[in-house]
Amino acid sequence: MSEENVTKNFTIDGVTLRPGTVEDVPAMLRLMDIATAWLVKKGQTGQWGTERHSTNPDRIKQATELAESGGTWIAVDNNYSPPKLGGEDEELSVINGIVGAITLGQANHYVQPATEPELYVKYLASDRASSGKGIGTLLLEKARALAREAGVSLLRLDCYAGGSGGLVRYYESQGFKRMETFEAKGWPGQVLIQRLDKEDEADS
Ligand SMILES: CC(C)(COP(=O)(O)OP(=O)(O)OC[C@H]1O[C@@H](n2cnc3c(N)ncnc32)[C@H](O)[C@@H]1OP(=O)(O)O)[C@@H](O)C(=O)NCCC(=O)NCCS
């Protein structure tokens, strides 16, 4: 991993992290709706389809479980002022200044179990209007910090491996390494890991 990928003490002006609660479910679903609209515009419908998640009962249940799990962290932009959009655009702007969220917990059932204690990234999304600010970096750095605090040396996740592979490359840019690929009901996935124990080696 190169030096620029080691992002300790990373901060973003005006953006703070707090634990998520079930009240954040609409905001988490909104982030997914925003991301999906962006992916659809780019013609990348393989990851999350084309439909809104906020009205999908399965997605609502899933987001509720994530929020109730205690492993969710919410990124709030304290300087956020809602744009006066109206109509459909308004339905695709963030709720309560919530510009990102991450959920950490146990591995998803469709991937191979880990052979050592781990923290698994089960949900990660940031607002498109905040793209490039490093919201994802901030949330992943929180994950690394929580893992270290818990004495856990392995951070793992899976993501969509189809399309142009942009999401896999994003995680590689965050210092993750590709492990196995898998297919879940025709959906191509990639497992990635990041080791946290050998920080000296990580800098090499
Ligand atoms: C992944 C994510 C949280 C990263 O947030 P971030 O650190 O704020 O980074 P950005 O949004 O600026 O994106 C960084 C790069 O990853 C790319 N990227 C992000 N999500 C992507 C996706 N789902 N598919 C393809 N490329 C993606 C972006 O296009 C961007 O590429 P660029 O640097 O070449 O412009 C955020 O981009 C996001 O919410 N993406 C959509 C939802 C998603 O796929 N979540 C991950 C589920 S495992």
Q: Which domains does the chain have, with CATH numbers?
A: 13-202 (3.40.630.30)
Residue 89 phi, psi (nearest 5): -60, -40
Instruction: pLDDT band for 199, please (50, 70, 90 cuts).
Output: low
If phi over 0 gives left and psi between -120 and 50 gives alpha, with beta otherwise, what is residue 81?
beta
User: Tens digits of per-residue pLDDT, 77-111?
Assistant: 999 887 776 666 667 899 999 999 999 999 999 99
Quote the pLDDT of residue 90.
67
Rounded-to-integer distance, Cα 30 and Cα 166, Å: 22
Task: State the residue for tokens 């191509």.
Answer: 188
DSSP assignment, residue 116?
S
Tell whether ligand 1 has an atom less than 6 A from the beta carbon of residue 167: yes
37, HSE (Cβ side, Cα atoms, 13 Å): 16
Stretch 18-42: mean pLDDT: 97
Give every CB contact of residue 62 below 8 A, 6+ residues apart in sequence.
Answer: none
Quote the pLDDT of residue 27.
98
Rounded-to-integer distance, Cα 37 and Cα 188, Å: 20
Contact (Cβ atoms closer than 8 angstroms) between residue 27 and residue 74: yes
Q: Tell me the percentage of the chain whose pLDDT exceeds 90.
A: 84
Tell whether ligand 1 has an atom less than 6 A from the beta carbon of residue 137: yes
Would the pLDDT of 13 be above 70? yes
Atom of ligand 1 nearest to the CA of 31: 39
What's the gap in Å between 124 CA and the centre of ligand 1? Answer: 9
Secondary structure element (H or E) that encloses residue 177, with its range: strand 177-184
Signed CA dihedral, 119, 123, 129, 132: sign only: positive
Q: Tell me the percentage of the chain whose pLDDT exceeds 70.
A: 89
Quote the pLDDT of residue 85.
65
Mean pLDDT computed over every residue of the chain: 91
What's the gap in Å between 187 CA and the centre of ligand 1? Answer: 18
Stretch 100-124: mean pLDDT: 96
Task: State the residue for tokens 């992290």.
Answer: 17
Quote the pLDDT of residue 18.
98
Contact (Cβ atoms closer than 8 angstroms) between residue 59 and residue 29: yes
Quote the pLDDT of residue 86.
63
Rounded-to-integer distance, Cα 137 and Cα 189, Å: 21
Tell whether ligand 1 has an atom less than 6 A from the beta carbon of residue 40: no
